[in-house]
């Protein structure tokens, strides 16, 4: 069994290597997971069921939000085309059902020598203090705090643009969007929206906005669809640069058919209340501005001593161990893992995060019980998909199976994209509850409005 010296947090304490023994006040190892996104929640759920339920380990999940939503769906919540309340997972209830502890809060610092993290004071939306700063000891720390868009310090972006990196941000954008739609219905104004970033989020949001306004036209004004002006700005030569060129060109063609003004090879220099300023002096007017470009870790641990890359991601080895550490893992969007023989780290996608979580779920219990190191992770690329709302979907199959790397589109691609979310629900809830959730969703779709209108 993994061993840890008794609680001596002095500078002279000697670390015995990759070993974990519960502290004196704990009867079992304490696994602390920071971040309840795709990787973090799957990890907490499965380890809670396998170790927490049997008392073999105490599992704690820390997240500053009270709810989990599948990040690839955030653009649908922002557009109001999906019921955000129906897709939420309440951490507190989920933790109770799966034998782990939910700790609301945000990590402020990490004491690697003492194996202790410090939580920042927790405040409510009105800045009322809910809980003071707290300390939490760990035996194994797993960082899975996700990522956010990177504004690269562009002037005015933080003050004037919406981000779609969390449920709160998606909800805030939707509130502004509904106000713009009502104004258009009442006064005939155009709905001017500009999105920076031609990755999956920006592309899918542009299509979803088109779908939302199309549905809104059925509530009293059929001309509103023609008053929607969506501009998609991308600095690279083409949108969806991480996808094969055939996917990129197909998606761009579909977006143009929907009326989206796709502009590539343009650099945004600044944002202000009226729109974006491009390199060369051109302005793109927009009442609603979204920044969906770039990627960086959603938390900053520059003072923790962990090695980080330029995007703030934790540099890890092939087994997710933070470089130079023996008790800290990082996975998902917040980790930078360069596979053997590759030049670039694995992409920040739900597919990567999910596979990494399942790998750690499989091998962390053996590390705790026998001290056997977690083996290297091998990513299996099952392909990539981008869905343009109900209009179309495009993608490629993975490097496995009969049709290796094949291009797909249409209904099959849409079905494949929908399956990704159902698999996530299955990972969290099991087959019975996941089926009930799907049935409840179908029933609600019959009786509820097709878009969020209040």
How sure is the predictor about 102, in pLDDT bands with cuts at 50, 70 and 90? very high
What per-residue confidence (pLDDT) applies to 399? 65
Does pLDDT of 84 surpass 90? Answer: no
pLDDT given at position 454: 63
* pTM attached to this predicted model: 0.89
Pairing of strands 89-90, 101-104: unpaired
Q: Measured between alpha carbons, how far is residue 449 from residues 75, 264, 439, 454 in Å? A: 18, 36, 17, 10
Query: Helices 410-447 and 38-47, interaxial angle, to 10°?
Result: 70
Mean pLDDT lowest among 268-272, 339-343, 367-371, 398-402: 398-402
In this predicted structure, the answer to whether residue 9 has a pLDDT above a threshold of 80 is: no
* CA dist., res. 239 & res. 200, Å (int): 9
Residue 341: pLDDT band by 50, 70, 90 thresholds?
Answer: confident
Query: Maximum Cα–Cα distance for the chain, whole Å?
Result: 74
Given a cut of 90, whether residue 300 has pLDDT beyond it is no
3-state secondary structure of 278: strand
Distances (CA, A) of 65 to 34, 119, 132, 396: 12, 14, 16, 34
- pLDDT score recorded for residue 223: 83
Task: Indicate if the pLDDT at residue 184 is higher than 60.
Answer: yes
**C-alpha separations of 175 from 91, 110, 138, 170 in Å:** 24, 36, 40, 9
pLDDT per residue as tens digits for the range 125-179: 767 888 889 999 999 999 999 999 999 999 999 999 999 999 999 999 999 999 9
User: What's the confidence (pLDDT) of residue 402?
Assistant: 55
pLDDT category at 397 given cuts 50, 70, 90 is confident
**Contact partners, residue 401, CB within 8 Å, separation at least 6:** none
Query: d(Cα 42, Cα 65) in Å, to the nearest integer?
Result: 16
The predicted pLDDT at position 308 comes to 93
Show the DSSP H helices in 133-273 as ranges: 157-160, 167-187, 200-216, 245-257
What per-residue confidence (pLDDT) applies to 351? 93
The residue among 310 and 449 whose pLDDT is bigger is 310
What digits encode the pLDDT tens for the residues 57-72?
A: 999 999 999 999 999 9
In angstroms, the CA 88 to CA 167 distance is 9
Q: Which two tokens stand for residue 344?
A: 């670039």
pLDDT, position 225: 86
Grade residue 26 by pLDDT with cuts at 50, 70 and 90. low
Given a contact cutoff of 8 angstroms between Cβ atoms, the answer to whether 120 and 108 are in contact is yes
Q: What percent of the chain stands above pLDDT 70?
A: 91
**Looking at residues 317-340, what average pLDDT do you find?**
95
Span 196-223, mean pLDDT?
90
pLDDT for residue 78: 95
Nearest-angstrom CA–CA distance, 454 and 448: 12
Query: Which is it for the CA torsion 129, 130, 134, 136, positive or negative?
Result: negative
Give the C-alpha separation, 303 to 142, whole Å: 17
**Three-class SS state of 263:** strand
């Amino acid at each position: 069994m993994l061993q840890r010296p008794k609680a001596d947090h002095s500078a002279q304490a000697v670390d015995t290597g990759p070993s974990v023994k519960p502290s004196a006040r704990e009867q079992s190892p304490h696994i602390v997971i920071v971040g309840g996104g795709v990787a973090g929640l799957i990890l907490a759920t499965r380890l809670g069921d396998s170790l927490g339920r049997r008392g073999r380990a105490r599992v704690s999940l820390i997240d500053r939000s009270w709810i989990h939503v599948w990040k690839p769906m955030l653009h649908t919540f922002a557009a109001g085309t999906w019921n955000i309340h129906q897709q939420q997972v309440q951490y507190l209830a989920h933790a109770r059902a799966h034998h782990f502890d939910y700790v609301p809060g945000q990590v402020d610092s990490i004491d690697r020598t003492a194996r202790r993290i410090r939580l920042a004071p927790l405040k409510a939306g009105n800045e009322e203090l809910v809980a003071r700063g707290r300390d939490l000891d760990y035996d194994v720390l797993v960082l899975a705090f996700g990522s956010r868009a990177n504004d690269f310090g562009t002037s005015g972006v933080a003050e004037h643009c919406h981000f779609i990196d969390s449920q709160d941000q998606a909800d805030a954008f939707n509130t502004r969007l509904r106000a713009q739609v009502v104004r258009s219905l009442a006064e005939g104004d155009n709905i001017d929206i500009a999105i920076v970033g031609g990755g999956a989020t920006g592309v899918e949001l542009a299509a979803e906005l088109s779908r939302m306004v199309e549905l809104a036209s059925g509530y009293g004004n059929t001309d509103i669809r023609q008053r929607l002006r969506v501009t998609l700005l991308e600095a690279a030569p083409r949108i969806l640069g991480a996808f094969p060129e055939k996917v990129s060109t197909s998606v761009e063609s579909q977006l143009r058919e929907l009326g989206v003004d796709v502009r590539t090879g343009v650099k945004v220099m600044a944002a202000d209340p009226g729109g974006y300023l491009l390199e060369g002096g051109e302005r793109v007017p927009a009442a609603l501005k979204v920044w969906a470009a770039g990627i960086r870790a959603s938390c900053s641990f520059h003072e923790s001593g962990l090695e980080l890359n330029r995007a703030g991601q934790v540099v890890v080895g092939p087994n997710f161990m933070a470089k130079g550490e023996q008790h800290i893992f990082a996975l998902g969007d917040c980790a930078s893992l360069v596979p053997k023989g590759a030049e670039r780290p694995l992409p920040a996608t739900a597919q990567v995060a999910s596979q990494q979580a399942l790998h750690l779920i499989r091998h962390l219990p053996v590390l705790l019980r026998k001290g056997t190191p977690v083996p290297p992770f091998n990513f299996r690329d099952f392909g990539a998909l981008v869905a343009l709302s109900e209009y179309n979907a495009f993608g490629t199959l993975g490097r496995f199976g009969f049709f290796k790397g094949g291009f797909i589109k249409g209904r099959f691609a849409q079905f494949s994209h929908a399956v990704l979310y159902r698999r996530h629900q299955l990972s969290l809830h099991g087959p019975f509850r996941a089926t009930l959730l799907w049935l409840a969703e179908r029933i609600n779709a019959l009786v509820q409005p097709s878009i969020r209108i209040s």
